[in-house]
Amino acid sequence: MDNFLKFLKIRRSIRAFGKQSISKKQLEKIVDAARFAPTARNLQPWEFVVVTDTHKLSQLAQLGENGKFMEQAAACIAVFSADTKYFLEDGSAATCNILLASTALGIGSCWVAGDKKPYAQQVNTLLNAPPSMKLISMVALGYPLEKNVFKAIAKRELKELLHWEKF
Ligand X SMILES: Cc1cc2nc3c(=O)[nH]c(=O)nc-3n(C[C@H](O)[C@H](O)[C@H](O)COP(=O)(O)O)c2cc1C
Residue of 50, 55, 116 lying closest to 78 (CA atoms): 50
Q: How far is the CB of 68 from ligand X (least distance, A)?
A: 9
What is the rounded distance in angstroms from the CA atom of residue 124 to the CA atom of residue 127?
Answer: 5
First to last CA, the chain: 29
Q: How far is the CB of 41 from ligand X (least distance, A)?
A: 23
Size of the site for ligand X (CB under 6 A): 10
Q: 39 vs 92, which CB is nearer to ligand X? A: 92
Which x/- pattern over 48-67 shows residues binding ligand X (rule: CB under 6 A)? ------------------xx
CA atoms within 13 A of residue 9's CA, in its CB half-sphere: 11
What is the rounded distance in angstroms from the CA atom of residue 86 to the CA atom of residue 45?
Answer: 9
Q: How far is the CB of 95 from ligand X (least distance, A)?
A: 8
Backbone phi, psi, residue 63, to 5°: -65, -40
Q: 25 vs 147, which CB is nearer to ligand X? A: 147
Given 13, 26, 58, 122, the residue binding ligand X (CB under 6 A): 13
Contact positions toward ligand X, by CB under 6 A? 12-13, 15, 66-67, 110-113, 153
